[in-house]
Amino acid sequence: MDTIVIGLGGMGSAAAYRLAQRGHSVLGIEQFSPVHNLGSSHGGSRITRQAYFEDPAYVPLLLHAHELWEGIERDSGIDVFHRCGGIMIGEPDSRTVAGSLLSAQKWDLPHELLDAAEIRARFPTMRPADGDIGLYEAGAGFVVPESSVAAHLKLAERAGAELHFEEKVLRWSTSSSGVRVETSHGTYEAAQLVICPGAWAPELLAELGIEFTIERQVQYWFAPSDVSAFQRHPIYIWEGDAGRQFYGFPAVDGSVKVAFFRGGQTCTPETIDRTVHAEEIAAMTEFVRARMPSLPVEFQRAATCMYTNTADEHFVIARHPSRDRVVVACGFSGHGFKFVPVVGEILADLVEGGTAHPIALFDPARLTGAR
Ligand SMILES: Cc1cc2nc3c(=O)[nH]c(=O)nc-3n(C[C@H](O)[C@H](O)[C@H](O)COP(=O)(O)OP(=O)(O)OC[C@H]3O[C@@H](n4cnc5c(N)ncnc54)[C@H](O)[C@@H]3O)c2cc1C
């Protein structure tokens, strides 16, 4: 094998595809089944947007990602990207609004600014406070994580990748001649290794010396009183008191998903409480009712998921600092999915020697004091 990819979730499925497409012989190894719901890439929807409040440095990657989704959909025949528009709501100086505006202006992205009355008139489901404004981006929307993973796995296999599921990597090592990966089923050797471990980063990448915090997050689905009002609806991120961000999606199959961004309990993949408790559901119902009164008529279901946070909430995408046959992609800090196709491309570039994509922000040295 030229390259082994560990982890076939969001990022690893995309890396396996890009490498195989470029003619590498690829072995992908995943501990669970294809498109499982035990990591970070499930729940039916992930926001994508380009006026990125987190940092304008992400924008060129997002411009490219939005182009790449089209190719993934065309080549796989699987729908992934739903362009329904998106609105970032909060006080004018909130991070959500001011940060999005900065990226929009810096990169000349099409956008509209709406005051609270205009938001209420255009999107009657939402009741922003009088001082709130919204930045609307017509090109925003959501991607379906399960469809993305399924599409990338299908394309990877079609391009010749060998994919193993229900096989756990126990340890990996490098030597001057290659890499060795020991799993629950056997031992494999290759020239290079790509590690996309999601919430298992503390286990598989302890040697990086980065402190990752795994965070339990809950996604909630409600049935609205009038589902048609939520059918043509933008995605939104809504910043309220104390910088707390709440977000949601249009109706999919009659259900509307909402969640909080951050503020979850710290856990590990072994200790995460996958039960969603009645108090949590009651608290979310009350929170939503104050902002979107027509939404939480009937609670339908909830599901937990994990964020893998770095200290500054920026990603880690790089060649391993002390193992030059190893490339890593981790610490996506709850906002990585929208980058999946471009991360796949970057990982394939790094395996081949280097990338032209701007990834200086994702250098692990910033987190380890090595820089
Ligand atoms: C509730 C929630 C909402 C989110 N919302 C958004 C959003 O709106 N927009 C957005 O852009 N992002 C969002 N994200 C973040 C995004 O989903 C993640 O950044 C992304 O899914 C991370 O992908 P990954 O490949 O790193 O992890 P995963 O998809 O979890 O993949 C890691 C894989 O590695 C495998 N693995 C680990 N260890 C081993 C081992 N030892 N052997 C074999 N296999 C192994 C795991 O089983 C897993 O399949 C959200 C995340 C959550 C949880």
In the three-class reduction of DSSP (H, G, I as helix; E, B as strand; rest coil), residue 174 is classed as strand
**For position 286, what pLDDT does the model report?**
94
Q: Give the alpha-carbon dihedral of 143, 147, 149, 154, to 10 degrees.
A: -140
Q: Which helix (H) or strand (E) holds 86?
A: strand 86-90
The whole-angstrom separation of Cα 106 and Cα 122 is 26
Domain boundaries, given as residue ranges, for the chain: 3-45+145-208+312-367, 86-138+213-309
Given a contact cutoff of 8 angstroms between Cβ atoms, the answer to whether 249 and 142 are in contact is yes
**Residue 70 and residue 88: Cα distance in Å, rounded?**
24
Spell out the per-residue pLDDT of the chain, length 371, in tens.
999 999 999 999 999 999 999 999 999 999 999 999 999 999 999 999 999 999 999 999 999 999 999 999 999 999 999 999 999 999 999 999 999 999 999 999 999 999 999 999 999 999 999 999 999 999 999 999 999 999 999 999 999 999 999 999 999 999 999 999 999 999 999 999 999 999 999 999 999 999 999 999 999 999 998 999 999 999 999 999 888 999 999 999 999 999 999 999 999 999 999 999 999 999 999 999 999 999 988 999 999 999 999 999 999 999 999 999 999 999 999 999 999 999 999 999 999 999 999 999 999 999 998 77
Distance CA 247, CA 260 (A): 6
On the question of a common fold for 3-45+145-208+312-367 and 86-138+213-309, the answer reads: no
CB 128 less than 6 A from any atom of ligand 1:
no
Q: Is the CB of 229 under 6 A from ligand 1?
A: no
Query: How far is the C-alpha of 158 from the C-alpha of 17, rounded, in Å?
Result: 9
Asked if 51 contacts 111 with a C-beta cutoff of 8 angstroms, the reply is yes
Hey, what amino acid is at 114?
L
Q: Are 315 and 307 in contact (CB under 8 A)?
A: no
CA distance 355 to 352: 8
* DSSP code of residue 315: -
Q: What sign does the CA torsion over 155, 161, 167, 169 have?
A: negative
Packing angle of the helix pair 340-351, 145-158 (nearest 10 deg): 40
* Ligand 1, pocket-test mutation among 35, 200, 246, most atoms within 8 A of CB: 200
pLDDT of amino acid 13: 99
Confirm if 40 and 185 have CB atoms less than 8 A apart.
no
SS3 state of residue 172: strand
Superfamily designation of domain 86-138+213-309: D-Amino Acid Oxidase, subunit A, domain 2 (3.30.9.10)
At residue 186, φ and ψ (nearest 5 deg) are 175, -165
CATH of domain 3-45+145-208+312-367: 3.50.50.60
The response to whether residue 197 sits with its C-beta less than 6 Å from ligand 1 reads yes
- Please give the pLDDT value at position 297: 81
Residue 333 alpha carbon, nearest atom of ligand 1: 19
Pairing of strands 162-164, 26-29: parallel
Q: What is the pTM of this model?
A: 0.98
Q: Would you say 315 and 306 are in contact if contact means Cβ atoms under 8 Å apart?
A: no
Q: Indicate whether residue 144 lines ligand 1 (CB < 6 A).
A: no
DSSP character for 135? E
